[in-house]
Amino acid sequence: MTAQAATPDRASAEKGFVLEDVRFAVDGATILHPLSARIGGGQVLGLVGANGSGKSTLLRILARQTAPSSGRVSFGGRALADWGARDLAREIAYLPQYPQTGIGLTAREVVALGRYPWHGPFGRFTANDAARTDEALRVTETTDFADRTLDTLSGGERQRVWLAMLVAQDAGCLLLDEPTSALDISHQIEVLSLIRRLAHESGRCIVIVLHDVNMASRFCDRVMGLRGGRLVVSEGIHDFMTPQSLRTVYGLDMQILPHATHPAGVAIPN
Amino acid sequence: MPRGAGRLVLVMGLLALALGAYFLAPRLPLLMQPPTEGYDPARMVLVYATLPRLVMAVLCGAALGASGALLQQALRNPLASPTTLGIDAGARLALGAVTLFYPALFGWGRDVVALAGSGVAAALVFGLSRRQDFSPVALILSGLLVSLYCGALAAALTLVESRYLASLFVWGSGSLSQQSWTPTFDLAIRLAVLVVPIALLARPLSLLDLGEDAARGLGLNVAYLRLGAVALAVLLAAFTASSVGVIGFVGLVAPILVRLAGARSFGRSLAAATAVGALLLLLTDLLVQMAAGLSADFLPTGAVTALLGSPILLWLLPRVTVRLRKEAAAMPAMRSYALAMRRGVLPVFIIGALLIVLTLIALAVERAPNAEWQLLSAADVSHILPFRWPRVLAAVGAGLLLGSAGFLLQRLTGNEMASPEILGVSSGATFAMAVALFVSGVPSLATVTASAALGAALVLGLILFLSRRSGFQPERMLLAGIALSALLDAVIGVLSAAGDPRALQLLSWLTGAGFAAEPMSTLVSLALVALGIIAALCLVRWLDIFQLGAVTAQELGVPLGLARVLLLALVAGTTAVATPLVGPLTFVGFIAPNLVRLLGLRHSGTALLSSALTGAAILVTADWVARTVAFPFQLPTGLVASLVGAPLLLWLLQRRPA
Q: Across A2-16, B434-448, B558-572, which has the greatest mean pLDDT? A: B558-572
- Which of B328, B541, B602 has its CB closest to that of A105? B602
Residues A226-265: pLDDT tens digits? 999 999 999 899 889 999 999 999 988 998 888 888 888 8
- In angstroms, what CA-CA distances link B25 with B19, B29, B435, B485? 10, 8, 39, 36
Give the Cα separation of A205 and A16 in Å (integer): 7
Chain A nearest CA to B537, separation (Å): 10
Q: How many CB atoms lie within 10 A of CB B21?
A: 10
Over pLDDT 90: what percentage of chain B? 12
A117 interfaces chain B, CB cutoff of 8 Å: yes
Is the model's pLDDT at B24 over the cut of 70? yes
In this complex, do A110 and B328 lie within 8 Å of one another by their Cβ atoms? no
pLDDT at B131: 74
Residues 6+ positions from B508 with CB-CB distance below 8 Å? B159, B514, B636
Residues A174-209: pLDDT tens digits? 999 999 888 889 889 988 998 898 888 888 899 999
- Which of A85, A102, A152 has its CB closest to that of B559? A85
Is the model's pLDDT at A21 over the cut of 90? yes
Averaged pLDDT, B81-105: 82
Question: Which chain B residues are closer than 8 Å to A84 by Cβ?
Answer: 557
A151 interfaces chain B, CB cutoff of 8 Å: yes
Residues 6+ positions from B447 with CB-CB distance below 8 Å? B436, B440
Q: Which chain A residue shows the shortest CA-CA distance from B549?
A: A100
pLDDT confidence tier of residue A26, bands split at 50, 70 and 90? confident
Question: Which chain A residues are closer than 8 Å to B542 by Cβ?
Answer: 121
Q: Which of A42-46, A157-161, B35-39, B114-118 has the lowest mean pLDDT?
A: B35-39
Nearest to B4 by CA among B255, B260, B256, B262: B262
For residue A220, which phi and psi values (nearest 5 degrees)? -95, 150
Chain B nearest CA to A100, separation (Å): 5
Chain A nearest CA to B484, separation (Å): 31
pLDDT at B394: 87
Averaged pLDDT, B65-78: 87
Is the model's pLDDT at A57 over the cut of 50? yes
- Which of A90, A104, A122 has its CB closest to that of B331? A104
pLDDT confidence tier of residue B572, bands split at 50, 70 and 90? confident
Inter-chain Cβ pairs, chain A and chain B, closer than 8 A: 79
pLDDT at B333: 39
In this complex, do B541 and A116 lie within 8 Å of one another by their Cβ atoms? yes
pLDDT confidence tier of residue B58, bands split at 50, 70 and 90? very high
Q: Thinking of the domain B393-532+566-655, which architecture would CATH place it in?
A: Orthogonal Bundle (1.10)
Is residue B83 within 8 A of residue B305, CB to CB? The reply is no
pLDDT at B1: 45
Helix (H) or strand (E) run with residue B156 in it: helix B136-160
Q: Across A116-120, B43-47, B450-454, which has the greatest mean pLDDT? A: A116-120
pLDDT at B656: 53
- Which of A65, A102, A105 has its CB closest to that of B330? A102
Question: Which chain A residues are closer than 8 Å to B335 by Cβ?
Answer: 104, 149, 152
In this complex, do A109 and B545 lie within 8 Å of one another by their Cβ atoms? no
- Which of A88, A99, A102 has its CB closest to that of B557? A88
Nearest to B118 by CA among B247, B251, B228, B235: B235
Averaged pLDDT, B465-475: 73
Amino acid at B528: L
SS3 A231: strand
Question: Which chain B residues are closer than 8 Å to A64 by Cβ?
Answer: 554
> How far does Cα B459 stand from its chain's mean position?
17
SS3 A56: helix
Residues B178-221: pLDDT tens digits? 778 888 888 999 999 999 999 988 888 888 877 777 777 777 88
Residues B287-308: pLDDT tens digits? 888 877 666 666 677 777 777 7
In this complex, do B552 and A169 lie within 8 Å of one another by their Cβ atoms? no
Chain B nearest CA to A84, separation (Å): 8
Q: Which chain B residue shows the shortest CA-CA distance from A152?
A: B333
pLDDT at B354: 93
Burial of A17 (0-12, 13-18, 19+ CB in 10 A): buried
For residue A235, which phi and psi values (nearest 5 degrees)? -155, 170
Averaged pLDDT, A16-25: 93
Give the Cα separation of B423 and B408 in Å (integer): 12
Q: Thinking of the domain B50-319, which architecture would CATH place it in?
A: Orthogonal Bundle (1.10)
Domain definitions of chain B by residue range: 50-319, 393-532+566-655
Averaged pLDDT, B430-444: 75
pLDDT at B503: 66
Is the model's pLDDT at B615 over the cut of 90? yes
Over pLDDT 90: what percentage of chain A? 44
- In angstroms, what CA-CA distances link B483 with B249, B313, B387? 9, 7, 40
Averaged pLDDT, B562-586: 81
Helix (H) or strand (E) run with residue A71 in it: strand A70-75
To test the contact with chain A by mutation, choose from B415, B543, B552 the residue with the greatest count of A C-beta atoms within 10 A, namely B552
Mean pLDDT of chain B: 79
In this complex, do A102 and B552 lie within 8 Å of one another by their Cβ atoms? no
Chain A nearest CA to B334, separation (Å): 7
Longest Cα–Cα distance in chain B: 86
Q: Which chain A residue shows the shortest CA-CA distance from B547?
A: A103
Residues B162-190: pLDDT tens digits? 666 666 666 666 677 777 888 888 899 99
pLDDT at B330: 41
In this complex, do A99 and B552 lie within 8 Å of one another by their Cβ atoms? yes
Mean pLDDT of chain A: 87
pLDDT at B445: 66
In this complex, do A94 and B328 lie within 8 Å of one another by their Cβ atoms? no
Q: In what order do the strands lie in the sheet with A78-79?
A: A29-39, A17-26, A70-75, A78-79
Name the CA dihedral angle for B583, B586, B592, B598, rounded to a multiple of 10 degrees: 160
Q: Across A126-135, B345-354, B542-551, which has the greatest mean pLDDT? A: A126-135
Question: Between B493 and B572, whose confidence is greater?
Answer: B572
Is domain A17-269 given the CATH code 3.40.50.300 in the classification?
yes
Residues 6+ positions from A64 with CB-CB distance below 8 Å? A80, A81, A83, A88, A92, B554
Averaged pLDDT, B115-135: 82
A102 interfaces chain B, CB cutoff of 8 Å: yes
Give the Cα separation of B503 and B508 in Å (integer): 9
- In angstroms, what CA-CA distances link B369 with B372, B374, B388, B637, B643? 7, 10, 16, 21, 26
Is the model's pLDDT at B63 over the cut of 90? yes
Averaged pLDDT, B429-434: 79
A94 interfaces chain B, CB cutoff of 8 Å: yes
Give the Cα separation of B281 and B239 in Å (integer): 16
Q: Is the dihedral of CA B596, B600, B601, B604 positive or negative?
A: positive
- Which of B330, B556, B603 has its CB closest to that of A169? B556
Half-sphere exposure of A261 (CA within 13 A, CB side): 3
pLDDT confidence tier of residue B142, bands split at 50, 70 and 90? confident
Helix (H) or strand (E) run with residue B562 in it: helix B560-582
- Which of B330, B555, B603 has its CB closest to that of A63? B555
Averaged pLDDT, B503-529: 73
Nearest to B226 by CA among B218, B215, B237: B215
Give the Cα separation of B530 and B401 in Å (integer): 9
Domain definitions of chain A by residue range: 17-269
Is the model's pLDDT at B559 over the cut of 80? yes
Q: Is the dihedral of CA A147, A151, A155, A160 positive or negative?
A: positive
Averaged pLDDT, B319-331: 46
Query: What angle is formed at CA A39 by the lines to CA A33 and CA A40, rounded to 5 degrees?
Result: 175
Q: Which of B1-5, B553-557, B578-582 has the lowest mean pLDDT?
A: B1-5
To test the contact with chain B by mutation, choose from A100, A108, A119, A150 the residue with the greatest count of B C-beta atoms within 10 A, namely A100
Residues A70-82: pLDDT tens digits? 999 999 889 999 9
Paired residues of A206 in beta bridges: A44, A174
Is the model's pLDDT at B602 over the cut of 80? no
Is the model's pLDDT at B52 over the cut of 60? yes
